[in-house]
Structure 1
Amino acid sequence: MSDPVATVVATGEGQPLLCSKENTVAITPKPRRLKSGQVVWDVQFRPTPGSSPTREVFDTLPAAKQFVTLIDRVGGAAARAARDMATMSGTSVPTLNTAIDQHLDELRASVTAGTIRRYQQIANTRLRPTLGDLPCDLITRPVVTQWLAKQRETPVQRGRTKGSTPSYKTLRGAQALLSSVLEHQVRAGTIPTNVARGLKLPRDGIVRDKVFLTPTQFATLLDCVPDAHKPLVSTLYGLGLRFGEATALTPADLDLDAAQPVVRVTKAWKEGKKGSYLGSPKTRRSIRTVTVPPSLIPILREQARKKKPGALLFPNAYGEQITSGAFHARVWQPAVAASGLDPAPRVHDLRHSHASALIAAGIPLPVIQRRLGHESIQTTVDVYGHLAPEAYAGAASAIDLSLTQALPKVESEAAPDEIVGEVLEERQIEAPDVAQQ
């Protein structure tokens, strides 16, 4: 057998691997022969910046290299903690890359292809590059917090926000996927706990606020939209539909001659491996019937005129689906720029503006929930509850109408002053000064 120590010298296997922020000198696994003749691998590092060097010993070079990689990604102290907490039962623990594949394979039976595709994108950009080759039992809470800190500094790699700092929503999506993957391993019995569950994320970054357009602002914006797309923009605002729901409508979804004209939302555009396709809306409650405001009826009727029942109500110039990307670039951005609105609204802000108009009109949140197709009333409250302070004040006014019918009766049936005084005296309560009430 070849001498491992001699092999390292001959092949350069002991060349520096990494240089973390905490270790200004590159970390190199170094072989050392024990008296027994066994060769072990020493990794010398600093647990924290400025601390004294310490050492971990490994039986194999791959294990030593893996530890060096972990140091570079999460720091010396977290790497040591991860090693100390690693499963010692001998159970085969998959790497996070393998765990991600296992989790997504299980999900394929219950979620859409577009959802799988989105999860793959998150995994490929946020999970695999940093944590992918680590065994799941080496991913501890400190490792996750260090990973999250690094993700906050990792720019967005694609889309309209390419190069910018990731949003809270982006980070939350990555953390949620990591938590789901680890939870799958907990159920499989390969790790004891899910260390990514319940991790709180800071909101100190730039948060893109929702834009709630007033009726006047919407009118200004609509004037800047090309005539061919005014019906779609009017429908998005007038019905509060999601873009994928509105662009999936057909004449068959309209019932404009009913006593109460309605639009039936039963489908939406989804993203799959082979492109867009029509599938179910976002949630179970998204399958809904939406009443149509009178001013929108002639617009929808004209859109449906001369179209077959199954044709798209709002097609592009070729009679095909209007994609969100093309609409944003060719229609929405130019219209917003021309309108001069500041802050600039997004397409989805038409849905938010629809809800805010309903709230301003005093429509109850449960009604708005059903109209928007939110799965839970909590979603409606969380997103729009702050817009309804008058509703909370109105609740007090509403109950006051009932109280005023009862309170005079209480006063008219009140006991004489001397009886009231006796009752108060028994309770050792000072009689109130009526003038102070």
Structure 2
Amino acid sequence: MASSKTNSRLSGDPSYTIVWRAGGSRTGDWCRETFDDEDQAKRFRDLVNGHGQQWPPGWVKGKGFVEAGAPPMPDSEKFPVYAHAYVGLLTDISEHTRTNYTRFIDNHMIPWFGELSVSDRGSRLTRDHVSQWILDLQNGRPGPLHPAGTKRRPYAPKTIANLHGLLYSIFQSAVSADPALRDSNPCAHTRLPKGNDTEDDEVFLEPEEYALLKTHVRADAVDIVDALVSTGLRWGEITALQPPEPVNFGESGFCGYP
């Protein structure tokens, strides 16, 4: 009888492997198939037992059921196409954020997932792919589809968490689609790298440190830097400020600012 084994990945997430001997005999070859989702693993185990300890007809190892003569995976289910379409249809973000999301997908996801599917058809993207992607980002390693010789820098835990959040949203959309493209989100329960105790601490300049810094600022930028430091405004906030409209004080013809 086929049995299930629970394994622990390097990321700490579990995987579920179904093992059996072909034909159910003691001398049959060992067969195995691994799943991210426990319920999927149990359904597959029951299929193996129901087919006399053989691979279920039409099942391709690592891919699932592939029907003879079935049409190829639609382009719309390929990761690059689906991810770009998802970002393009978001209604609660600015165009600046949309541009950033698109850049994140192109630079930090497609080199790893460009040949994979967001659906349960074709070469589906799994938790193992996500875990390897996170390790590569953390250690500054290029993805499988990067050109040879590509150099990358290690990313901080906060940056990795932001990228993972976008990837999670993309796959949650595939899970929630009508009809659903896949049963589970491969980003669920991912253990993300933790930053050190000082990574997110705020840094404050002493007056003499700021005075030294200001000596290296261009003369025409000193005023705006002083305003940033003294008010705590963000760059986007201070650059959005407009000069006040002049006020006309009546018959005297004097114009000034309030």
Which TM bucket (shorter chain)? 0.5 to 0.7
> Counterpart amino acid of 2:134?
L
1:126-137 equivalences in 2 (<5 Å): 126-136=108-118, 137=120
- Structure 1 distance, partners of 2:127, 2:136, is 14
CA contact (8 A) 2:137 2:154 kept: no
Letter in 2 for 1:178: L
Q: 1:172 aligns with which of 135, 150, 161?
A: 161
In the superposition, relative to structure 1, how do residues 144 and 252 fare at CA in structure 2: closer, same or farther (>3 Å)?
Answer: same
Structure 2 vs 1, CA of residues 88 and 241 (structure 1 numbering), >3 Å: closer, same or farther? farther
Q: Find the aligned partners of 2:243 and 2:65 in 1 and give their Cα distance.
A: 60
2:193 corresponds to 1:202: yes
* Alignment counterpart, residue 139 of structure 2, candidates 142, 149, 153: 153
Tell me, in whole angstroms, the C-alpha distance in 2 between the residues paired with 1:235 and 1:87: 63
TM-score, L = length of structure 2: 0.55
Q: 1 CA distance for matches of 2:256 and 2:86?
A: 44
- TM-score (structure 1 length as normaliser): 0.34
SS in structure 2 of the partner of residue 166 of structure 1:
coil
CA contact (8 A) 2:104 2:163 kept: yes
* Selected match of 2:129 from 116, 140, 143: 143
Root-mean-square deviation (CA, aligned residues, Å) is: 4.0
Cα deviation for residue 134 of structure 1 reads 0.9
Query: Residue type of the partner of 2:173?
Result: H
Task: Give the AA of the match of 1:196.
Answer: C
Query: Where does 1:202-281 land on structure 2 (aligned, <5 Å)?
Result: 202-203=193-194, 207=199, 210-252=202-244
2:84 aligns with 101
Counterparts of 1:42-191 in structure 2 under 5 Å? Answer: 83=62, 86=64, 94-107=77-90, 109-136=91-118, 137=120, 138-154=124-140, 163-188=152-177, 189-191=180-182
Q: Number of matched residues?
A: 175
After superposition, the C-alpha distances for 1:203-252 in whole angstroms (9 at most, x for unaligned) are: 36895864221233223323443332221111111111111221221113
Q: Structure 1 residues 185, 88: closer, same or farther in 2, change over 3 A? A: farther
SS in 2 for 1:251: coil
- The answer to whether the 8 Å contact 1:95/1:134 transfers is yes
Partner of 2:4: none
Distance 1:150 1:307 in 2: 60
Separation (CA, whole Å) in 2 of partners of 1:307 and 1:209: 44
Larger Rg belongs to = 1
Give the distance between the partners of 1:128 and 1:177, measured in 2 at CA.
13
SS at match of 2:89: helix
> Do 1:87 and 1:191's aligned partners in 2 also have CA atoms closer than 8 Å?
no
Q: How many angstroms does 1:181 deviate by?
A: 0.6
Shift of 1:120: 1.1
Distance verdict in 2 for CA 1:235–1:197, change over 3 Å: farther
Higher relative contact order (CA closer than 8 Å, sequence separation 6+):
2
| Structure 1 Cα separation of the partners of residues 256 and 106 of structure 2 | 43
Give the % identical residues.
Answer: 24
- The whole-number CA distance in structure 1 between the counterparts of 2:162 and 2:228 is 26
Ranges in structure 1 where 5+ consecutive residues have no aligned partner: 1-46, 48-56, 65-79, 254-305, 309-437
Q: Secondary structure in 2 aligned to 1:133?
A: coil
Closer, same or farther: CA 116–227 of 1 in aligned 2, 3 Å = same
Q: 1:307 offset after TM fit, Å?
A: 11
SS of residue matched to 1:111: coil
Q: What amino acid is the match of 2:89? A: E
For the 8 Å contact 1:141–1:196, the answer to whether it is kept is yes
Cα 1:87–1:106 change in 2 (3 A) is: farther
